[in-house]
Structure 1
Amino acid sequence: MAWKTAILTASDKGSRGEREDTSAQVIRELVEEELGGEIIEVRIVPDEQDEIIAALIELTDYFKADLVLTTGGTDLAIRDVTPEATRRVIEREVPGLSEAMRSTVMQKNRAVMLFRGICGIRGRTLIVNLPGTPKGVHENLAAIMDQLPEALLMVTGQYRQ
């Protein structure tokens, strides 16, 4: 199954074209190669809660993505508001995915305890917050990749027991 996947980067510098979005490229590669997903939209917005919220709503409600992977805005800096924006658009949280990312990655990188990303469901879309670095994206997404197909089957109503 080719899961329709959208990528949303929250980055002030990236949105102004001052920084290349290498984390989104890592997401693209992992989704296409490991998940067999199809990238249907890629967005970069500044670290502004209202803009992140608007993009998440559009990617879920208009583009009908099965999976939205965000990168950036998940640390402790004052401008890092992706988890707060995500919490405002999701209907149900999926804490096990976030817990799995942190516990798996923490074995190699203790700094992941400062990662505040959350995961949740809006309608029939799974939203997963990832860190803003290529290494962080790779480590965290790899930690949950094996569970994403089953999770997506459940979220999209295609799961058969």
Structure 2
Amino acid sequence: MEKAKIGVLTISDRASKGIYEDISGKAIIDYLNDVLITPFEVDYKVIPDELELIKETLIGMIDNKGCSLILTTGGTGPAKRDVTPEATEAVCEKMMPGFGELMRQVSLSQVPTAILSRQTAGIRKNCLIVNLPGKPQSIKLCLDAVMPAIPYCIDLIEGAYIDTDPNKIKSFRPKNK
């Protein structure tokens, strides 16, 4: 089986300048290593909150690197420099608002400011892009909520096959597919 390519993109002015370590992107990679049972390789990048650069990076990960899934972290709040959702929407052919709705719903059970999050998801070619929050504990909470639907979504858009360890996250795939 060919390895799935998964992009992990941290969008942070300070982390991209080395002012602090990118713990959020590493938390995503640790999560993937923990729950995925199919072979995959990660294309990992840390870039500043610059709209055009985010768009170029997402396009490159999909069109040049062949990623079937990209998980972003950072840039989803209401601050002026938070432009990750705008970049995601600009490069996608279809938006998948249910991902953001579910992530906000589970996050609201933990913190009232989750309503300020603008996380979204969308599809470009045969890649699903999911915008995650910036804190590692919030990343896990959100991924636990949406990961059951991600493998089947990627099947439907003809991306690489990925599957989860059913003892950790049970992927949903229809039985009569």
- Normalised by the length of structure 1, the TM-score is 0.93
Task: For residues 4-44 of structure 1, give each alpha carbon's deviation from its aligned partner in whole angstroms, at most 9, with x where no partner exists.
Answer: 21101110011111111101111001112213362331011
Q: Which residue of structure 2 lines up, in the alignment, with residue 14 of structure 1? A: 15
The yes-or-no answer on 1:66 pairing with 2:68 is yes
**CA RMSD of the aligned region, Å?**
1.8
The one-letter amino acid paired with 1:48 is E
Q: In the alignment, which residue of structure 2 is the partner of 1:137?
A: 139
For 1:60 and 1:91, locate their aligned partners in 2 and report how far apart those are by CA, in whole Å.
13
Q: What amino acid is the match of 1:41?
A: D
Deviation at 1:109, TM superposition (A): 2.1
**1:80-99 map, 5 Å:** 80-99=82-101
Ranges in structure 2 where 5+ consecutive residues have no aligned partner: 162-172
The size of the alignment, in residue pairs, is: 161
> 1:108 Cα shift?
2.2
Identity of aligned residues (%): 38
Decide which structure has the larger Cα Rg and report it. 2
Identify the residue that residue 78 of structure 2 maps to in structure 1: 76
Judged with a 3 Å threshold, the aligned counterparts in structure 2 of structure 1 residues 81 and 92 are, in CA distance, closer, same or farther, namely same
- Give 3-state SS (helix, strand or coil) of 1:39's partner: strand
Structure 1 portions without partners, runs of 5+: none
The TM-score normalised by the length of structure 2 is 0.85
Report the alpha carbon displacement of residue 80 of structure 1 after superposing the two structures with TM: 0.5
Rounded Cα–Cα distance in structure 1 between residues aligned with 2:154 and 2:4: 8
**1:36 aligned partner:** 37
SS of the aligned residue for 1:20 comes to coil
Cα distance in 1 between the residues matched to 2:135 and 2:42: 22
User: Match for 1:111 among 90, 110, 113?
Assistant: 113
Q: How far apart, in 2, do the equivalents of 1:40 and 1:153 lie?
A: 19
SS in 2 for 1:41: strand
